[in-house]
Amino acid sequence: MAEQEDSTALAAGLERVVVLPALLDADAPNPAVQQSECDPDLVAICQICMDVVPLQLSVTGVCGPACLAEICAPCLVRHLTASVYSFYPGVLPKVRCPVCLTLLNLNQWEKFVAPPAPTPEPTATEEPTATEEPAASEEPAASEEPVPEASAESDVVPEGEATPEPVPTATPAPELEDDNLHVLQKYVMLCQQSCGFQSPCCHNAEYTMLPKRALGPYDEDKDMLVLPTEQVQALPELREQCLEFCYHAKEASELYAFIVESFKANAEVVLWKVLPKIVDEERRAALLLRHLFENPDTQTRCCSMRVCFKCKATDHHAGNCHDFLEDESVVECRGCGVTLVMVDGCDSLRCLCGHSFSWSSEVTRQQAQRKQLAPALDAEYDQWASWHRELRASFGKVADLANTQRELRLARFVRAHRSLLRRVILSRIYRQRKDKEASNRSKDGRDKEVKKAVESPEHLDLELQAQATAVP
């Protein structure tokens, strides 16, 4: 029966394929280098703390082979910790190179905060080798002192004396290494919270829409998809664009637009196959949020209950989510889709996701989109707004026709007599410069006379007396 279905699918121009057989960003292409095996006498200067540290603690190439960073490992760990903990719940955390400010993937900095690998301990079932345990027939070495035998008299405690307590032997405490695992845990938690809400089906307060990463190679039963032949041909390009997206060379909107355009009706199915192949939780959440922003009508992953991701309404409402944003003090960020409330402050603001916008312009945009007077897509709205501004400028010229004609006549006059106007304007500019230089020279002369009088007051008195005698 299965062979008949496969033959029917192949006859109809369909193929059974795996979208992505391997993880996308499991290993960094150019990992950072820590000089741990170099000469211990060599030193380097950290670009953060400016201290001279051993070259063994120096880290280079944080964001790639062309990275200019040369910092010590403790400073890098502090930078990673401060970067992750500076984000609020609901905002995707982004980690940058401390010198180049380039966005980093998780695999480029994870090893600096990951706990050290445990050293394997010998198990109790292992048999000791012949060199570790001496044979029973061998005699002790001459340097070893014989152990005195316990006598019955020495074990007797005199009456009236307390029995001496055994002195506890001090066991050396294990050396504790710096545990920075909390940085990774905080990073993952922030990514999950950005895609999470309290599920209306099982009322789980820690529910998240973010799927977990794939742990191993693909499973044919779960990862196989039946796609048309023209969509199968787009899979290599999909992998390349996904790799660029994982290393912040492509925006989530661009990758999502490619998936929708290339796979059409199968776009959502392909997207949910791509998400587990992305190791970095921030990149995975960014792509998922872009999909949920465009298609908020979804269902929970736990109980498959219909829910709106934007307004969290169950059994999706019969209108648009923008209908709930009637107040002018509420605006939805175009960068991350988070609802913002205006309390006070400047009209220009910057969201925590990094998107900057004008509050009044966003209110105007959302009101026009809510009334269906403007395109709903943001990219189309930007083009429409540019055309609308040019149209209003044209209408303004037509409304004030007299001023428009005067401006046109002046523009034609300037084009026709450009050389004459240049000579007239240059002569005026030169005259102004000459007058300014003359005033500066006279001011400098007065300053010199005052300075000379202050330095030699006797000379000034002689000049005043000469002027007085010269007067009849």
The per-residue DSSP string of 85-131 comes to HTSPTTS----B-TTT--B--HHHHHHHHSPPPPPPPPPTTPPPPTT
Buried b (16+ CB within 10 A) or exposed e, 327-352: eeeebbbbbbbbebebeeeeeebebb
State pLDDT tens for residues 260-284.
Answer: 999 989 999 999 999 999 999 999 9
For residue 168, give Cα distances in angstroms to 147, 165, 307: 21, 9, 64
Q: State yes or no: pLDDT of 188 exceeds 90.
A: yes
Percent of the chain scored above 90 by pLDDT? 23
pLDDT at 168: 44
Question: Are the beta carbons of 66 and 78 closer than 8 angstroms?
Answer: no
Give CA–CA dist 55/72, Å, rounded.
8
**For residue 59, how many other CB atoms are within 10 A of its CB?**
25
Q: How far is CA 315 from CA 84, 199, 344, 464, in A?
A: 36, 13, 36, 102
CA gyration radius, the chain: 39
Q: 19 pLDDT band (50/70/90 cuts)?
A: confident
Residue pair 337/295 in contact (Cβ under 8 Å)? The answer is no
pLDDT of residue 324 exceeding 60, the answer is no
Element (H, E) at 226: strand 224-228
Mean pLDDT of 417-446: 85
pLDDT of 466 reads: 62
Nearest Cα neighbor of 248 from 95, 138, 116 is 95
Three-state SS annotation for 2-39: HHHHHHHHHHCCEEEEECCCCCCCCCCCCCCEECCCCC
Is 468 or 175 the better-scoring residue by pLDDT? 468
What letter would DSSP give residue 277? G
Which pLDDT score is estimated for 445? 78
> What domains, with CATH codes, occur in the chain?
33-115+179-185 (3.30.40.10), 195-370 (no CATH)
Is the C-alpha dihedral spanning 209, 213, 215, 219 positive or negative?
A: positive
Positive or negative torsion for Cα 425, 427, 433, 439: negative
116-136 average pLDDT score? 51
Please report the DSSP string for 156-193 in residue order.
PPPTTSPPPPPPPPPPPPPPPPP--HHHHHHHHHHHHH
User: What confidence tier does 33 reach under pLDDT thresholds 50, 70, 90?
Assistant: confident
Residue 95 has pLDDT above 90, yes or no: yes
- Which of 31, 34, 47 lies closest to 79, judged by CA? 47
Mean pLDDT of 49-56: 88
Structure tokens at 147: 């152990």
Q: What percent of the chain has pLDDT over 70?
A: 74
58-94: per-residue pLDDT in tens? 898 898 888 999 999 999 999 999 999 998 888 889 9
Integer Cα distance of 278 and 285 in angstroms: 10
Q: Which residue has the higher pLDDT, 45 or 333?
A: 45
Position 152 scores a pLDDT of: 42
255 pLDDT more than 60: yes
- Rounded mean pLDDT, 360-385: 82
Q: How far is CA 14 from the centre of its chain?
A: 39
Mean pLDDT estimate for the chain: 78
**Residues 48, 34: Cα–Cα separation, whole Å:** 16
Q: Which residues neighbour 323 within 8 Å (Cβ) at sequence distance 6 or greater?
A: 370
DSSP string covering 297-355: EEE-TTT--EEETTT--BS--SS-GGGG--STTEEE-TTT--EEE--SS-SEEE-TTS-
Comparing CA positions, the residue from 5, 194, 190 lying closest to residue 87 is 190
pLDDT of residue 134 exceeding 60: no
Q: Is residue 114 within 8 Å of residue 184, measured between CB atoms?
A: yes
pLDDT at 139: 44
Give the number of other Cβ atoms within 10 Å of residue 466's Cβ: 9
> Distance between CA atoms of 229 and 53, rounded to whole angstroms?
58
Distance of CA 209 to the CA centre of its chain: 20
Round to whole Å and give the CA distance between 368 and 400: 27
pLDDT exceeds cutoff 60 at 171: no
Q: Would the pLDDT of 1 be above 60?
A: no
pLDDT for the residue 256: 93
Average pLDDT over residues 227-241: 91
Which pLDDT value is given to residue 358? 85
pLDDT score recorded for residue 154: 43
